[in-house]
Amino acid sequence: MTTALITGITGQDGAYLAQFLLQKGYQVAGLLPQRSSTSLWRLDELKITDNIRFVHGDMTDVSSLIKVIKENQPDEIYNLAAQSFVGASWKQPILTSNVTGLGVLHVLEAARLSNSQCKIYQASSSEMFGLVQQPIQSEYTPFYPRSPYGVAKLFGHWMTVNYRESYGMFACSGILFNHESPLRSLHFVTRKVTDAVARIVCGVQGSVRLGNLEARRDWGFAGDYVEAMWLMLQQEQPEDFVIATGRTVDVRYLCETAFRYVGLDYKDYVESDPALFRPAEVDVLIGDASKAKSKLGWEAKTSFEEMIRMMVETDLQRVSKQLASAKGTDLS
Ligand code: NDP
Ligand code: GDR
């Protein structure tokens, strides 16, 4: 049986990837950092918590990673763990660099020092393009990160390339553009908006304050994107791939779409607050995933509108359930 080790198993992508690999018959080990309490809500929602072998370790502690690799002998490592919120990376640049940047080197070194022959997937990001140097970004576009997070990701990206070239390791970097889902954390703008829509409809929130409404992103569905991670590790040769939809829309259109779904006009509920603007913004991202299409046979399946509908519906169910249980109503 093929064994995969997923770092970041409790995050959005970790949960969808674990579900995907379990369906393929993999044994899945998930790295859990030591926390006073661990949140398994995503794995619980997908009903896969009991199918995962949890192993303890932290991205900032290379000895724990060596131990985990030696004890579990994974065939594939999906390195998804990160401090992944761009906004927080200005407030915690050193933590972000340690986890999101140096942490990647720890995984690569741990695999090398353990003499592991495993294949490694590194979760690189479109944030590395930052102040974009080409109107549409592909594997050949020069990088110009705009946040401590983007800089840390770039370090991890080049280390992955370097370990592949220096030691012949099967290490791939997936340069993924934004991808969202009902399992997205509330920090991120899509889920912040769909959660607000649900709360406004249920009468527990009046409005929502956002930052820059003009920022444009190439937003896809996380459930589609985890398949691309797996496909990269099934290739004959390790290579890097851009994964994107090829369509860009702005935060304003996100609001319009989410509020329209419940018959409301976003202009009545959304405020743009300059205090929520970032010190340096990534104005626009749009990816060219034609290499992934031709070599991996991968392309995005879910439209932006379908994904936002899915997120609004799930948040409406969640908020209604919370309200019902607060009132002591039995919904079952
Ligand atoms: P999440 O923020 O949802 O998940 C991050 C995961 O990393 C969590 O499981 C978290 O655990 C874990 N983690 C954080 N710090 C540590 C640590 N010190 N040691 C071990 N684990 C740690 O991210 P996503 O699932 O959205 O993204 C997955 C990866 O893909 C990330 O690397 C992200 O930067 C990258 N990426 C994401 C994109 C997206 O649009 N979603 C696009 C491009 C790249 P805990 O919750 O316990 O802190
Ligand atoms: P991003 O996602 O920074 O692209 O990183 P996020 O959803 O945080 O921001 C997208 C854009 O929306 C603007 N914005 C707001 N953002 C947030 N979070 N909250 C707001 O209130 C708000 N108002 C406007 C932002 O300024 C930005 O322009 C995500 C993460 O998943 C990274 O880990 C990943 O690498 C990249 O996507 C690709």
Three-state secondary structure string covering the chain: CCEEEEECCCCHHHHHHHHHHHHCCCEEEEEECCCCCCCCHHHHHCCCHHHEEEEECCCCCHHHHHHHHHHHCCCEEEECCCCCCCCHHHHCHHHHHHHHHHHHHHHHHHHHHCCCCCEEEEEEEHHHCCCCCCCCECCCCCCCCCCHHHHHHHHHHHHHHHHHHHHCCCEEEEEECCEECCCCCCCCHHHHHHHHHHHHHCCCCCCEEECCCCCEECCEEHHHHHHHHHHHHCCCCCCCEEECCCCCEEHHHHHHHHHHHCCCCHHHCEEECHHHCCCCCCCECCECCHHHHHHHCCCCCCCHHHHHHHHHHHHHHHHHHHHHHHCCCCCC
How much is the pLDDT for 329?
63
Cβ-based burial of 318 (10 A; exposed 0-12, middle 13-18, buried ≥19): middle
User: What's the 144 CA to ligand 2 centre distance in angstroms?
Assistant: 17
Whether the predicted pLDDT of 317 surpasses 70: yes
Residue nearest to atom 33 of ligand 2 (CA): 84
Rounded CA gap, 231 and 78, in Å? 12
Rounded CA gap, 164 and 187, in Å? 34
* 171 pLDDT tier (thresholds 50, 70, 90): very high
What CATH homologous superfamily does 189-217+248-279+303-326 map to?
UDP-galactose 4-epimerase, domain 1 (3.90.25.10)
**Residue of 79, 178, 197, 254 with the most ligand 2 atoms within 8 Å of its CB, for mutation:** 178
Q: Which ligand 1 atom minimizes the distance to the CA of 153?
A: 34
* 36 pLDDT tier (thresholds 50, 70, 90): confident
How much is the pLDDT for 38?
79
Least distant ligand from the CA of 272:
2
CB of 190 shorter than 6 A to ligand 1: no
CB of 179 shorter than 6 A to ligand 1: yes
Q: Which ligand 2 atom minimizes the distance to the CA of 278?
A: 26
User: What's the 157 CA to ligand 1 centre distance in angstroms?
Assistant: 15
User: Out of 26, 64, 126, 127, which one is annotated catalytic?
Assistant: 127
**Mean pLDDT of the residues in the chain:** 97
User: Out of 125, 147, 173, 181, which one is annotated catalytic?
Assistant: 125
CB atoms under 10 Å from CB of 329, counted, come to 10
How much is the pLDDT for 64?
98
How much is the pLDDT for 20?
98
Least distant ligand from the CA of 270:
2
Averaged pLDDT for residues 142-151: 98
CATH architecture of 3-180+220-243: 3-Layer(aba) Sandwich (3.40)
Averaged pLDDT for residues 200-218: 98
Candidate from 170-179, 212-221, 318-327 with smallest mean pLDDT? 318-327
Does residue 149 carry a catalytic annotation? yes
* 330 pLDDT tier (thresholds 50, 70, 90): low
pLDDT tens digit string along 249-287?
999 999 999 999 999 999 999 999 999 999 999 999 999
Q: What is the token pair recorded at 181?
A: 């889902």
Taking CB atoms and a 6 Å cutoff, what residues make up the pocket around ligand 2?
84, 86-87, 125-127, 177-178, 187-189, 192, 210-212, 215, 217, 251, 276, 278, 281-282
CB of 127 shorter than 6 A to ligand 1: no
User: Out of 26, 78, 149, 266, which one is annotated catalytic?
Assistant: 149
Quick one: which of 168, 156, 62, 158 has its CA closest to 114? 62
Least distant ligand from the CA of 42:
1
CB of 288 shorter than 6 A to ligand 1: no
How much is the pLDDT for 163?
98
Is the pTM here over 0.95, yes or no? yes
3-180+220-243 and 189-217+248-279+303-326: identical CATH topology = no
Q: Which ligand 1 atom minimizes the distance to the CA of 126?
A: 43
Q: Where are the domains of the chain?
A: 3-180+220-243, 189-217+248-279+303-326
